[in-house]
Amino acid sequence: MWRWDRWGTVEYDGPALGQAQVVRRLSGSMARGAALVGGAATVLCTAVAAVVAGVPGLWAGLLGGLLATGSALLTPALMLRTARLEPGAVMLAAFGGLAMKAIILLAALFTLGGLPGLHRMSLAVTMLVVFVATVAAEAWAGQKLQILIGSDPGSPDA
């Protein structure tokens, strides 16, 4: 029915019928891509932060990566919740998810940045890198997903 490609996105064998099924496939592919890329970016940023800033950099990198990757899953979750609504509502949810991610990460940075056990710059850089990487992965997954638009081949209208 479906298979993973090397980028963590899913290639489905059959066409998606209806907006809800298309949105479910798209949000699933976006979530998988964002989780894989977010995890890889977190590991890379945490390693660099640990070398540069020691243990506070390690903790800041892990926390920043966890927050940024977790917030990246907000957009696909909102899209799933609105899959059966009008297309405009789904687009608004996707945009709202992107804006909400940025607000959550800024609030977390300002709240957690002053803690004594965390390196503030490592936290900020990790959150920024993972945020950009996961948004790019979501866009890549959306671009890669093939959607057939038209009538059902088995319908009398075809």
Q: Give the pLDDT band of residue 156 (cuts 50, 70, 90).
A: low
* Separation between Cα atoms, residue 65 and residue 144, nearest integer Å: 25
* Predicted model pTM: 0.80
Q: Give the pLDDT band of residue 150 (cuts 50, 70, 90).
A: low
Q: pLDDT tens, 52-88?
A: 999 999 999 999 999 999 999 988 888 888 888 888 8
Question: Does residue 158 carry a pLDDT above 70?
Answer: no
Residue ranges of the domains in the chain? 17-144
* Separation between Cα atoms, residue 34 and residue 126, nearest integer Å: 15
Residues 6+ apart with CB under 8 A from 99: none
Q: Give the pLDDT band of residue 90 (cuts 50, 70, 90).
A: confident
